[in-house]
């Protein structure tokens, strides 16, 4: 375990000193730079004269109202974390009854990344409703009959390569749930990207779900926080339980103003981010097919949103050592996160890509040089 932590620490320490190989920009802003950017935005913003909130009034309420209009829901409630928001949403949909069951995918974020908080903290009973290697379908839901009370769908499904159902299949899943009296909750941390793949507007989703959690820092790059969308009954329940969870924060405006700025600046660019991810995935696919002497996969290819994964069937520590050496030589980072071993599904080492900037075509030759160095180094390690 210590070697594992040390390896990741070395990777991140060096990555923070490198610029991005995609666009040449610094990976991480200083606090000073971040605050100066926010102040510059505020100086010309209609929000500049709002007072600091007190327990979520003023600017926070204004933002919540804008969000509920954007998504066409009855209510929108700010939470400091998505983990808290989703637990409380699902407690609502199960009537806070510990015997009621939440159906979800075996690779859903709460089961993989949240330290069993669903069961240990929220006292939610869970049931996985499909095999680990496939997306949930309407047929999976129809087989359940009286087995679950609420269905949680992660959109897109991160640990399957950010996969999405088609819009028609999504509607079929929703209709199957409604026929069985099952509430539908969406883990929509990255819902912004999903609507581009589906070819719909945000306000169309309300017709097929009972609630959605939306991240304020993924994609739109705010500081932190989440919004929970639903009806007024959910909001009343959520406000009560948010306080019980310790989520009624005295000053909420820093998270809100950074989210507002992020939405204005970044949401119009999501289509460009998705295009960039397809370009980068194509470069990886082309270079790997030419030079790689090892088994690999781009998942999915082409990407459906501005996220994808690369799978290589070689030990993760070896790939991290090569990635670190590459950063030391080039001063830039191709991989934003360390490689890790996916023991649940693929038995491969995985690198994850989330593209939130445009690929600078003028940098393509340097990018290709670094990528080829990585591939050649992996090839050499097999000799």
pLDDT computed for residue 3 by the predictor: 61
Q: What is the span of the domain harbouring residue 238? A: 50-251
Q: Is residue 260 part of a domain?
A: no
pTM for the whole structure = 0.94
The DSSP string of 281-326 is: HHHHHHHHHHH--S-EEEESSS-SSSEEEEEESS-HHHHHHHHHHH
pLDDT computed for residue 319 by the predictor: 97
* 291-328 residue pLDDT tens: 999 999 999 999 999 999 999 999 999 999 999 999 99
Q: Is residue 229 part of a domain?
A: yes
Please compute the mean of the pLDDT values over residues 117-134 and round it to a whole number: 93
Q: Which residue has the higher pLDDT, 16 or 282?
A: 282
Question: Do 219 and 330 sit in the same domain of this protein?
Answer: no
CA angle 37, 39, 40 (to 5 degrees): 65
Q: What is each CA distance from 223 to 218, 258, 307, 375, in whole angstroms? A: 9, 6, 20, 35
Q: Which residue has the higher pLDDT, 163 or 7?
A: 163
For 263, the token pair is 């939405």
Q: How far apart are CA 289 and CA 295, in angstroms?
A: 10
Question: Do 98 and 247 sit in the same domain of this protein?
Answer: yes
Q: Is residue 36 part of a domain?
A: no
- Could you tell me if 192 and 218 are in contact, meaning their C-beta atoms sit under 8 angstroms apart? no
Q: Last residue of some domain: 251, 281, 309?
A: 251
User: Facing residues of 185 across strands?
Assistant: 152, 211
* 57-86 residue pLDDT tens: 999 999 999 999 999 999 999 999 999 999
What percent of the chain shows pLDDT beyond 70? Answer: 98
For 199, the token pair is 């070819």
Region of poorest pLDDT, from 126-135, 352-361, 372-381: 352-361
Question: Do 243 and 321 sit in the same domain of this protein?
Answer: no
* 221-234 residue pLDDT tens: 999 999 999 999 99
Q: Is residue 258 part of a domain?
A: no
- Could you tell me if 159 and 107 are in contact, meaning their C-beta atoms sit under 8 angstroms apart? yes
- Ranked by mean pLDDT, which of 145-149, 300-304, 364-368 comes out on top? 300-304
pLDDT at 1 over 60: no
For the domain that residue 56 is a member of, what is the CATH number?
A: 3.40.640.10
Q: Which H or E run contains 309?
A: strand 307-312
Q: Which of 299-328 are b and which e, b meaning 16 or more Cβ less than 10 Å from the residue's Cβ?
A: bbeebbbbbbbbbbebebebbbbbbbebbe
* 164-191 residue pLDDT tens: 999 999 999 999 999 999 999 999 999 9
* 240-286 residue pLDDT tens: 999 999 999 999 999 999 999 999 999 999 999 999 999 999 999 99
pLDDT at 2 over 60: no
Gap between the terminal Cα atoms of the chain: 28
Question: Do 87 and 208 sit in the same domain of this protein?
Answer: yes
- Could you tell me if 174 and 119 are in contact, meaning their C-beta atoms sit under 8 angstroms apart? no
Q: Please tell me whether residue 272 adopts helix, strand or coil conformation.
A: helix
Question: Do 292 and 352 sit in the same domain of this protein?
Answer: yes
Q: How far apart are CA 305 and CA 197, in angstroms?
A: 7
* 150-163 residue pLDDT tens: 999 999 999 999 99
pLDDT at 330 over 80: yes
Region of poorest pLDDT, from 3-7, 175-179, 294-298, 377-381: 3-7
Q: Last residue of some domain: 195, 216, 251?
A: 251
pLDDT computed for residue 357 by the predictor: 74
Instruction: Report cis status (omega within 30 of 0) of the bond before 276.
Output: no
Q: How far apart are CA 102 and CA 16, in angstroms?
A: 39
Strand 211-215 to strand 226-230: parallel, antiparallel, or no bridges (unpaired)? antiparallel
């Amino acid at each position: 375990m210590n070697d594992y932590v040390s390896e990741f620490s070395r990777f991140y320490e060096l990555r923070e000193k490198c610029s991005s190989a995609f666009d040449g920009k610094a990976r991480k802003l200083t606090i000073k730079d971040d605050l100066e950017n926010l102040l510059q935005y505020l100086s010309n913003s209609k929000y500049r004269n709002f007072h600091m909130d007190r327990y979520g009034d003023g600017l926070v309420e204004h933002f919540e109202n804008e969000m509920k209009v954007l998504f066409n829901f009855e209510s929108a409630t700010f939470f400091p974390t998505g983990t808290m928001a989703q637990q409380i949403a699902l407690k609502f949909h199960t009537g806070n009854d510990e015997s009621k069951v939440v159906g979800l995918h075996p690779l859903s974020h709460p089961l993989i990344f949240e330290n069993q908080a669903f069961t240990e903290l929220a006292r939610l009973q869970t049931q996985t409703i499909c095999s680990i290697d496939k997306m949930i379908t309407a047929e999976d839901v129809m087989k359940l009959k009286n087995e679950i009370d609420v269905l949680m769908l992660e959109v897109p499904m991160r640990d399957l390569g950010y996969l999405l159902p088609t819009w028609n299949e999504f509607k079929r899943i929703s209709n199957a749930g409604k026929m069985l009296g099952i509430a539908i909750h969406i883990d929509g941390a990255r819902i912004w990207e999903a609507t581009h793949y589906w070819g719909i507007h945000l306000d169309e989703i309300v017709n097929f779900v009972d609630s959605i959690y939306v991240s304020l820092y993924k994609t739109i790059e705010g500081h932190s926080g989440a919004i929970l969308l639903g009806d007024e009954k959910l909001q009343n329940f959520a406000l009560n339980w948010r306080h019980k969870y310790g989520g009624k924060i005295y000053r909420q405006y820093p998270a809100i103003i950074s989210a507002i700025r992020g939405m204005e600046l970044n949401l119009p660019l999501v289509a460009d981010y998705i295009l960039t991810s397809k370009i980068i995935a194509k470069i990886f696919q082309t270079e790997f097919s030419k030079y790689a002497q090892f088994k690999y996969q781009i998942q999915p290819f082409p990407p459906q949103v501005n996220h994808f994964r690369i799978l290589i069937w070689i030990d993760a520590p070896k790939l991290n050592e090569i990635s670190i050496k590459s950063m030391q030589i080039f001063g830039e980072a191709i991989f934003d996160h360390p490689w890790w071993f996916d023991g649940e599904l693929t038995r491969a080492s995985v690198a994850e890509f989330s593209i939130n900037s445009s690929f600078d075509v003028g940098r393509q030759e340097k990018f290709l040089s670094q990528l080829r160095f990585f591939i050649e180094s992996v090839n050499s390690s097999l000799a």
